[in-house]
Amino acid sequence: MTATDRVGRRMPLLVGLRFTRGIPGCAGIVIARDLGGGLRSTPSPHRAERTRGLVVVEDVRTGAHGAYDQLMSARVSTARRVLRWSRWSAAVLVSACALLGVVRLVVPATAGATGEPPGVQRQMAFLRAELDSGAGEEAQRLFPEGYFFLHALHGLSWVELGMREPVGERAAALREARFALARLDSPAGRAPFSADLTPAHGVFHRGWSNWLRGGVLSLEPAERRDPAEVRRFAEDSAALGAAFDASPTPYLTAYPGQAWPVDSTVAVASLRLHDTLLPPRFAGTAERWLREVRQRLDPRTGLLPHRADPVDGTPAEVARGTSQSMVNRFLPEIDPAFAREQYLRFRDRFVVSPLGLGPAVREYPAGMDGPADVDSGPLPLGVSLSATVVTIGAAQVHGDDRLAGAVAAYAELVGVPVGTPWSKRYGFGLLPIGDAFLAWSKTARPWVVPTPPAPPANVSSAWWLPLVSLLVVLAAAPWLPAAARRLRNRRGAGTEAGG
């Protein structure tokens, strides 16, 4: 019989013919898959044998029967070892990440109004490198004031850090703050703002610039201040004061026909800072502003509205977390008593604990939902991440260190910080303006008034316990099946021994 003769009732289809002479112990073996249900005969001196859908042609002269089974057994064994190692590696990774989360929750992430928060210097190094690489221009493509805000927050964070240093050791802070201030005054810094507004370029640009310029002056003793910087600060303050005095509304416009109360709050705080650094002249302006603000509060919440009518200042939009977190950062500089009242209202209506897992800040007051926008970002469970971060600073200037510390620790857990000995970034550094807001918030302290006493706590001292418990369970979960198997095996062995 030849190799083309049939064995059985029909011609089989043989595929996958494989010679295995190169495999030790398998010399002369021919393996083929029988897909047709039959079997080709093989030339003498070989004999053929069906084995589970395979044709194993055995070289009678070598006696290598079963080599295919041995080969497959070795491959299965290797695959099992790889799978076991992969599972073990995944379990180690999950447990390590969960335990790292526990550490980030319990290690303090803030240092109050006087200490330097851990890691902020490295954050500032990352931010400066990003700014030098064009992060300001990239931020401008994402946000209407992205270029301005990223530089402003960089400069303000350095002022905050400089205030924590002795007077003779503030050179780095002054250099970086002046670098940022120059960018605010550049064509790129002014580009989004109209020179036809009162004051020129609007209250947003003029107010934040004036606050940063006052911060630069705060870092030096009066006798060592640059006369040109002092003169510019006085001139810009005068322009702001005149605009408020002449306005029928306490809320000046930032863009043509648009007014946000938070921008005017920053500007009035800068006038208070002026009266701390230079001969006072704006007390009447600030007091008049406060009286008019009290008459134009959001009726739903009793807080400053998010947006106001540019003509008469009546509320145009309900108070929102993104603006309230910023308002409450600056109000203590203007009037501490009014600020405390507003802060407690804000905390009561906006600070929540979604799923019971940690403090966060809603974009809209409790019981109300609304759309997200470029300021708030996405709103999972109604929470604004940007408002939550800025609230760290608001809480800190109000002496509410427990809330500031809790929110900052939560940010350390969910913010995916990545650090090296030289830099630190959050969210893998994909959005540097988020790092800037976090650094500015963690370094917050009052510039004009002393830090007030802490308000009644609204966050438990053990707020982290549910999260830590969840992380501990997550760390242990990958090892539980193996532990359960070992326990069953021991019980089985004990039963057999007893029997």
Tell me the CA distances in angstroms from 278 to 207, 213, 264, one per residue in order.
Answer: 17, 13, 21
Q: What is the pLDDT of residue 67?
A: 62
Look-up: residue for tokens 């900052």? 408
In whole angstroms, give the CA distance from residue 37 to residue 487. Answer: 47
Does residue 294 surpass a pLDDT of 90? yes
In whole angstroms, give the CA distance from residue 425 to residue 340. Answer: 33
Q: What is the pLDDT of residue 163?
A: 96
Confidence of residue 499 (pLDDT cuts 50, 70, 90): low
In whole angstroms, give the CA distance from residue 299 to residue 302. Answer: 5
Residue 56: its H or E element? strand 54-59
Does residue 251 surpass a pLDDT of 50? yes
Confidence of residue 205 (pLDDT cuts 50, 70, 90): very high
Tens-digit pLDDT profile for residues 120-137: 999 999 999 999 999 999
Q: What is the pLDDT of residue 29?
A: 41
DSSP string, 1-14: --TTS-SSSSPPPE
Q: What is the pLDDT of residue 31?
A: 40
Q: What is the pLDDT of residue 439?
A: 97
Residue 466: how many other CB atoms lie within 10 Å: 14
Asked if 321 and 361 count as a contact pair (C-beta separation under 8 A), the reply is yes
In whole angstroms, give the CA distance from residue 430 to residue 411. Answer: 16
Does residue 110 surpass a pLDDT of 70? yes
DSSP string, 290-306: HHHHHTT--TTTSS--S
Tens-digit pLDDT profile for residues 427-455: 989 999 999 999 999 999 999 999 999 99
Alpha-helix residue ranges (DSSP H) falling in 219-260: 227-246
Confidence of residue 42 (pLDDT cuts 50, 70, 90): very low
Burial of 126 (0-12, 13-18, 19+ CB in 10 A): buried
| Amino acid type, 311 | V
- 3-state class (DSSP) for residue 131: helix
Tens-digit pLDDT profile for residues 142-200: 999 999 999 999 999 999 999 999 999 999 999 999 999 999 999 999 999 999 999 99
Residue 414: its H or E element? helix 401-414
Residue 422: how many other CB atoms lie within 10 Å: 10
What is the reported pTM?
Answer: 0.81
Q: What's the whole-number mean pLDDT along residues 313-319? A: 98
Burial of 185 (0-12, 13-18, 19+ CB in 10 A): middle
Asked if 464 and 413 count as a contact pair (C-beta separation under 8 A), the reply is no
Tens-digit pLDDT profile for residues 344-361: 999 999 999 998 888 999
Query: What is the distance, to the nearest Å, from the Cα of residue 378 to the centroid of all Cα atoms in its chain?
Result: 13
Burial of 446 (0-12, 13-18, 19+ CB in 10 A): buried
Q: What's the whole-number mean pLDDT along residues 31-54? A: 41
List of residues 6+ apart from 479 with CB closer than 8 A? 91, 95
Confidence of residue 414 (pLDDT cuts 50, 70, 90): confident
Higher pLDDT, 498 or 305: 305
Q: What is the pLDDT of residue 68?
A: 58
Which residues make beta-bridge pairs with 255?
Answer: 258
Burial of 406 (0-12, 13-18, 19+ CB in 10 A): buried
Give the angle subtended at the CA of 232 by the CAs of 179 and 144, to the nearest 5°. Answer: 55
According to DSSP, the β-strands at 315-317 and 307-308 are antiparallel
Asked if 146 and 204 count as a contact pair (C-beta separation under 8 A), the reply is no
Q: Which of 127, 123, 227, 234 is nearest to 180 (CA)?
A: 127
Asked if 54 and 30 count as a contact pair (C-beta separation under 8 A), the reply is no
> Which percentage of the chain shows pLDDT scores above 90?
66
Q: What is the pLDDT of residue 24?
A: 40
Mean pLDDT of the chain: 86
Q: Which of 164, 160, 135 is nearest to 149 (CA)?
A: 135
List of residues 6+ apart from 93 with CB closer than 8 A? none
In whole angstroms, give the CA distance from residue 165 to residue 158. Answer: 11
According to DSSP, the β-strands at 315-317 and 54-59 are unpaired
Torsion of CA 237, 242, 248, 250, to 10 degrees: 10
Torsion of CA 256, 286, 351, 319, to 10 degrees: -40
Asked if 201 and 193 count as a contact pair (C-beta separation under 8 A), the reply is yes
In whole angstroms, give the CA distance from residue 369 to residue 384. Answer: 12
30 φ/ψ angles, rounded to the nearest 5 degrees:
-120, 125
Asked if 71 and 26 count as a contact pair (C-beta separation under 8 A), the reply is yes
Sign of the dihedral through C-alpha 224, 227, 228, 230: positive
